[in-house]
């Protein structure tokens, strides 16, 4: 048996609607995971999935913004190169 550890996202408290969590990252050893019920493991998996999905959208938006800036800079560079070519 391999000894491994996992850092997981644990839902500490739900709001009244029960739809969002106050999330805290906690380090769990493999033996701690093995001691959990299937329902607890499913809950951990769901909270991890929710956290990952929550991180993806802002990161995707940030990436798109950076790519747009890059494209604008490349267009500006191409225009400058054409201007330099016209001067020589």
Which sequence spans correspond to the domains of the chain?
A: 5-87
Q: What is the pLDDT of residue 14?
A: 46
Which pLDDT score is estimated for 16?
44
Query: According to the 3-state scheme, what is the secondary structure of 8-72?
Result: EEEEEEECCCCCCEEEEEEEEEHHHHHCCCHHHHHHHHHHHHHHHHHHHHHHHHHHHHHHHHHHH
Cβ atoms of 30 and 55 closer than 8 Å: no
Q: pLDDT tens, position by position, for the chain (88 residues)?
A: 455 666 655 554 444 444 445 456 677 788 888 888 999 889 888 888 888 888 888 899 999 999 999 999 999 999 999 999 998 8
């Amino acid at each position: 048996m391999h000894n491994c550890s996992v850092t997981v996202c644990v839902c500490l408290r739900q709001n009244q609607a029960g739809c969002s969590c106050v999330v805290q990252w906690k380090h769990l050893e493999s033996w701690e995971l093995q001691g959990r019920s299937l329902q607890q493991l499913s809950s951990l998996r769901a909270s991890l999935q929710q956290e990952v999905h929550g991180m993806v959208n802002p990161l995707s938006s940030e990436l798109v913004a950076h790519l747009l800036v890059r494209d604008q800079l490349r267009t500006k560079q191409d225009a400058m190169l054409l201007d330099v070519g016209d001067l020589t």
